[in-house]
């Protein structure tokens, strides 16, 4: 993980240089820690503010509201939001369609410039945006900082990508012709992001949409609408025209489904659970009256990610990678390690080291920069505890397994490791999305690969091994969209690790990669005879 500070860069000049990932903040430095504490204090003073719907640049209030709460202190309201209903779908669509008429014809250079300006503004307020994540979804400082750094990366990377796409030439120029290939906008997109990366994923799907010339109806998660509202404010400050992004928090079953089903919706960009993703895909396949296209779906769904540790692995490195990948942000990542598959020859020694490492993790209010904060809400905590009880029956509890009492009623859970879990059991197959790791024993590397691949998901995975043959075998046969060798299975970096999975993990969208903007555009071949 990079820890250097971002170099000083002049506004508007970044597009002239090659893309470089935004550096992470080193919070062991006193100046950085002081700056983060100041940002937390500033954001704390703004908690509870009310935010409007934004449709066509105009602000609206509704009778029904969405309360975004602090999971570490549920009585604390982070933001009060309007709740869009079915009656807001047509106005939002009309505004987006109107804006599309001009925005889709805006030169790529101007659309890219909007993203560059947004990235500049976000870089200036990096700690402040991180602090919103600390309060709204209970990320610790490093997790929040990584989320915002990735958001900046998406601004920078997708702006460069549209400039590249706008200059693509056909591989052949026929004699007597001028042949071109244009990548043009699709139309109005529904962007439906999750709560676990409420800045990076929300912004990434939105930025890819608008830099490609599309306009957006943005429906953030009801658990994390405030960071989305702050980001839309930033886009407006950067000069985004009215109607390009329409901010509409609302329930998925009402507003969200109505947007997906609307005949003028051209595509849906979604990140979330397998169940919701499948529902969206099914709804999008219907062709209502007045629809003249096949809706495109860009779906990033769940994972049941495994790390294989072979007998010849560096054991200390493997333990650290498994623990970090399993319990970073309370295990609430689709890329989190939820299964550790350990060669039987080192199984007991691995468990001994893993138990000691996990029990060093601190859990508490993330404003104090603990290793783990709270899980997202009471419903999630209840579900996770249900999985833990099932795991106690199918396996053996190694450590954790309990809630952590909080005077403020926070949704805190101990990091939990359940071992001796058999293949095909509930905990081995289903995505838990919480701080629960299952550990399984493999006879050999072949058996470990068999276990790892035996789920309906295929998002991330990792192996720890010193054998070149086994590494090459994993590259060929470990069926995941993002495979990591001798490192943890979380922490995909824009540009280096295009992100997206196989099977029920989604449509392998490869966000943060050179193919991503193709999903938000359509190719138009133009051949002109030269006179």
Q: Quick one: CA torsion of 365, 437, 312, 485, rounded to 10 degrees?
A: -70
155 is catalytic: no
Q: Quick one: CA torsion of 14, 19, 25, 29, rounded to 10 degrees?
A: -80
For residue 378, which of 65, 44, 69, 50 has the smallest C-alpha distance? 69
- Burial class for 107, CB neighbours closer than 10 Å (0-12, 13-18, 19+): exposed
Marked catalytic residue, from 136, 143, 156, 300: 300
Query: What CA–CA distance (Å, rounded) separates 206 from 113?
Result: 15
Q: Are strands 396-399 and 296-300 parallel, antiparallel or unpaired?
A: unpaired
334 is catalytic: yes
CB within 8 Å of 316: residues ≥ 6 apart:
353
Query: What CA–CA distance (Å, rounded) separates 307 from 481?
Result: 14
Neighbours of 272 (CB within 10 A): 22
Determine the 3-state secondary structure of 493 from DSSP. coil
Query: What CA–CA distance (Å, rounded) separates 279 from 467?
Result: 42
Query: What CA–CA distance (Å, rounded) separates 304 from 437?
Result: 11
Residue 139 contacts residue 132 (beta carbons within 8 Å): no
Q: Where are the beta strands (DSSP E) in 200-336?
A: 215-218, 245-247, 265-271, 296-300, 305-309
Structural tokens at position 520: 């938000």
Query: What CA–CA distance (Å, rounded) separates 139 from 71?
Result: 10
Query: What CA–CA distance (Å, rounded) separates 19 from 164?
Result: 12
CB within 8 Å of 402: residues ≥ 6 apart:
413, 414
In Å, the largest CA–CA distance within the chain is: 80
Tell me the three-class secondary structure of 385-403, residue by residue.
Answer: HHHHHHHHHHCEEEECCCE
CA distances in angstroms from 459 to 87, 211, 426, listed in the order given: 37, 26, 19
Q: Quick one: CA torsion of 468, 471, 475, 481, rounded to 10 degrees?
A: -150
**Helix (H) or strand (E) run with residue 350 in it:** helix 347-358
Residue 526 contacts residue 500 (beta carbons within 8 Å): no
Marked catalytic residue, from 334, 337, 428, 431: 334
For residue 239, which of 108, 57, 15 has the smallest C-alpha distance? 57
Q: Where in the sequence numbering do the catalytic residues fall?
A: 300, 334
């Amino acid at each position: 993980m990079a820890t250097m500070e971002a170099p000083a860069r002049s506004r508007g000049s970044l597009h002239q240089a090659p893309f470089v990932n935004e550096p992470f903040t080193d919070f062991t430095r006193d100046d950085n820690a002081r700056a983060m504490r100041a940002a937390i204090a500033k954001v704390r003073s703004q908690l509870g503010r009310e935010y409007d719907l934004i449709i066509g640049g105009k602000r609206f209030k509704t009778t029904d509201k969405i309360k975004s709460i602090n999971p570490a202190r549920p009585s604390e309201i982070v933001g009060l939001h309007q709740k869009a209903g079915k009656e807001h779908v047509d106005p939002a669509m009309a505004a987006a369609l109107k804006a599309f008429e001009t925005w889709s014809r805006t030169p790529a250079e101007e659309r890219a410039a909007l993203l560059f300006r947004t990235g500049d503004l976000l870089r200036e307020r990096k700690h402040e945006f991180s602090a919103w994540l600390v309060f709204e979804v209970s990320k610790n400082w490093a997790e929040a900082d990584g989320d915002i750094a990735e958001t900046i990366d998406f601004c920078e990377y997708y702006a460069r990508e549209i400039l590249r796409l706008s200059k693509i030439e056909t591989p052949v120029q026929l004699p007597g012709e001028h042949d071109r290939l244009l990548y043009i906008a699709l139309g109005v997109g529904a962007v439906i992001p999750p709560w676990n990366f409420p800045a990076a994923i929300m912004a990434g799907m939105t930025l890819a949409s608008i830099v490609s010339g599309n306009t957006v109806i943005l429906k953030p998660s009801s658990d994390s609408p405030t960071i989305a509202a702050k980001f839309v404010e930033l886009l407006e400050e950067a000069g985004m025209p009215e109607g390009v992004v329409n901010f509409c928090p609302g329930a998925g079953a009402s507003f969200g489904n109505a947007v997906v089903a609307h005949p003028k919706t051209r595509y849906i960009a979604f990140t979330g659970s397998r169940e919701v993703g499948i529902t969206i895909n099914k709804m999008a396949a219907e062709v209502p009256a007045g629809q003249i296209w096949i809706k495109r779906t860009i779906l990033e769904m769940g994972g049941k990610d495994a790390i294989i540790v072979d007998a010849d692995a560096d054991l200390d490195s493997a333990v650290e990678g498994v623990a970090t990948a399993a319990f970073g942000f309370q295990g609430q990542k689709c890329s989190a390690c939820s299964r550790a598959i350990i060669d039987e020859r080192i199984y007991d020694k691995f468990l001994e080291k893993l138990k000691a490492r996990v029990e060093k993790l601190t859990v508490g209010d993330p404003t104090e920069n603990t290793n783990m904060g709270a899980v997202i809400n009471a419903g999630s905590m209840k579900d996770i505890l249900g999985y833990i009880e099932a795991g106690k029956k199918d396996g053996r509890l190694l450590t954790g397994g309990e809630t952590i009492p909080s005077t403020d009623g926070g949704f805190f859970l101990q990091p939990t490791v359940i071992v001796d879990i058999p293949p095909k059991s509930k905990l081995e197959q289903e995505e838990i999305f919480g701080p629960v790791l299952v550990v399984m024993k493999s006879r050999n590397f072949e058996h470990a690969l068999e276990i790892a691949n035996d789920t309906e998901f295929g998002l991330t995975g990792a192996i720890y091994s010193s054998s070149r043959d086994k590494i090459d075998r994993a590259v060929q046969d470990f069926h995941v969209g993002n495979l990591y060798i001798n490192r943890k299975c979380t922490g995909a970096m824009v540009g280096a690790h295009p992100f997206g999975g196989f099977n029920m993990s989604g449509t392998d969208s490869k966000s943060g990669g050179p193919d991503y903007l193709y999903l938000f555009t359509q190719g138009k071949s133009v051949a002109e005879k030269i006179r």
